[in-house]
Amino acid sequence: MSDIDSAVLKTIIDTAHDHFFIVEASGRILDVSPGSAAVYGLSREELCRTTVQNLVERGVLSPSVTMEVIRTGQPAQVMQHTNTGRRVLAEAYPVFIDGKLTRIVSRSMDLTDLQLLQDEYALLQQRFSEHLKRGGSVPLGDELELDSLEVRSEVMREVALLIKRVAPTDATVLMLGESGVGKTAFARQLHRWSKRHQGPFIDVNCAAIPDALFESEMFGYQPGAFSGAARQGKAGMLELAAGGTLFLDEIGELPLATQTKLLKVIQDGQVTRLGDTQARRVDFRLIVATNQDLAARVESGDFRLDLYYRLNVIPLTLPPLRERREDIPGLAERQLERLNRRYGQSKVLHPNAWPELMRGDWLGNVRELENWMERAWLSAPDNVIGAPGGAGAAVIETPSAVRDTSLATFTPGEGQTLKQALDAHERAILAELCDYQRSTYAIARHLGISQPSVVRKLRKHGLTIGHRRSDTKK
């Protein structure tokens, strides 16, 4: 290695934010970054006089990600605990020369402060819950200024107050909940309450952008970066969010390659356009949302563990509409006002409609309720929606009704695994919907999922709109 290369390597290690180790294949430590001392409780000099095996024996760290790479010859990632009480995410990579393992390069990220913030958040949630259980009231009025949000249930009041508490910080918020519960609306409200409210709110549906276009849309590109690129180039979503909030909906749909690049942007605060060599500084508040179990996706290898911990700073769960029925009247009235404004009329709901609205399961949550209201509004022949004997009454009868078909008594076949049984059930449901729904958008509304998800599922099962029920028996 030349003197210049050695100087460059030394500068990288000395200035690294994460904690770097360079280790021989035997386990002897050659060099570490200065910040490692605080995490592992030994000075840089002490660490460079020992081996990773010795550190494990002395209880300095456990387990050793470097020893895992020595054992397997493959990159590895582990959650590590140190004798200083730190919780560390460590990853290591092998270096081969002429096919022989020569060095292992590892880096670790201290997650202890992140855990403390999560613990404080959990304690705050507990205190609010106990306050509500004791009969305490949660003032909404001017204090919350909820704008277009409809919050009447105690559980959603609690969520709103927690969002207001978190909004002035730049902490990443992970919104969890079923499709259609209102994650986007609450993300917009969080932005309005934040110190970045005068900046842009960039809403990105990760499932709606084709994989082939995702990188150029997210990171942007330079002129001539690829065939068909705009002559002037284009700024990506990450740049457009500068000074404001970036909301990534359906984050669980991100391809692994894009997850890696997003993690680097979050860590470095810089983004490099396609076809460019110059990184650009970006400064935005990140909010992400998903209806998936990200922890399960991490375990299955579909989601990066380090990105998961970067995103899971403030987890916020929005309950489904069936668990907060007090919010239904406000949501229905708000949608009715929107429809009347849009179409220039003054329709009202018949009193008979309210019991049906309150009893509905609303499996598609707020989105299904709003879609149902629009269908009922358009079906009403006069200014009263759901009047007995009117056309609107037929629409009112069974919101969220489940069709009485053989699917209700679905039974897994002999010898089927759980995954095979679930896939077969999913295909049968989609085939049934393809029989009477006219578009993938209609199927998405019925199931309470995104339209791109419907397209992927139909492609997976070889289905198209117009399939007959007999097709399910193939």
Q: What is the pLDDT of residue 260?
A: 86
For residue 116, what pLDDT is reported? 56
258: buried, middle or exposed (CB in 10 Å: 19+, 13-18, 0-12)? Answer: middle
Distance CA 94, CA 76 (A): 9
The gap from C-alpha 56 to its chain's centroid, in whole angstroms, comes to: 35
| Nearest partner of 165 among 144, 147, 139, judged by Cα | 144
- For position 122, what pLDDT does the model report? 60
Q: How many CA atoms within 13 Å lie on the side-chain side of 262?
A: 28
DSSP 122-147: HHHHHHHHHHHHTT-----HHHH--T
How much is the pLDDT for 134? Answer: 53
| Ordered DSSP codes for 49-104 | TSBHHHHHHTTSEES-HHHHHHHHSS-EEEEEEETTS-EEEEEEEEEEETTEEEEE
pLDDT value at residue 241: 93
Separation between Cα atoms, residue 82 and residue 84, nearest integer Å: 5
CA-based diameter of the chain, in Å? 89
- Cβ 283 vs Cβ 243: under 8 Å: yes
The 10 Å Cβ neighbour count of residue 125 is 16
10-residue mean pLDDT profile of the chain (474 residues): values are 67 69 94 83 90 93 93 90 84 92 88 59 57 48 54 82 87 90 91 93 88 84 81 88 93 86 86 87 92 83 85 88 89 90 89 84 86 86 74 43 44 69 82 75 75 80 65 41
Question: Do 356 and 400 form a contact (C-beta atoms < 8 A)?
Answer: no
